[in-house]
Each structure stands twice: as C-alpha cells, then as structure tokens.
Amino acid sequence: MADVTYTVPNISCVHCVHTIESELGQLSGVRRVEADLVGKKVTVSFEPPLTEVEIVALLKDINYAPAAS
C-alpha cells in the first residue's frame, strides 16, 4: 500500500471535503481518503494497480487539482 499527500488550494468548505473523499473513495484500490479543510491537504492510501496519475486526474476532473510541487 502507498500513501500520498497533495496540497489542494481550493478546498474551502466542508462540502469540498465531502466531495473529494466521496469521489476518491470510489476509485478501485483506494483504501483511505482524508481531506483536511484547514491544511488544504488530501491524503490517499491506495494499492496497485491504481496509480498516482489516476488519482491526480480524478482530482482535476472534479475541480480540485493539486498544487504544482
């Protein structure tokens, strides 16, 4: 299992947190999702064959693109 954390600048409310956790939680391979409103961070625990590319693509699709690192 892998853990990744992204900074997501446009998390602005509890609805954002719920949307992110719900949408990412539906991906096959995701074991845990935690969106932090105050820290504007999203942490995802996942297993292959799911990849970070797929996680980031979904975040972009739902308008919560991670900040460039």
Q: What is the CATH number of the domain that holds 18?
A: 3.30.70.100
- Report pTM: 0.95
Confidence of residue 68 (pLDDT cuts 50, 70, 90): confident
What number of helices (H) and strands (E) belong to the chain?
2, 3
Q: Is residue 13 part of a domain?
A: yes
The three-class DSSP label of residue 11 is coil
% helix, strand, coil for the chain, step of 5: 30, 30, 40
**pLDDT tens, residue by residue, 35-65:** 999 999 999 999 999 999 999 999 999 999 9
Residue 66, domain member (yes or no):
no
What is the SS3 string spanning 12-34? Answer: CCHHHHHHHHHHHHCCCCEEEEE
The total number of structural domains that make up the chain: 1
Helix-helix angle 14-25:52-61, to 10 degrees: 140
Answer yes or no: is pLDDT of 69 > 70: no
Residue 17: per-residue pLDDT: 98
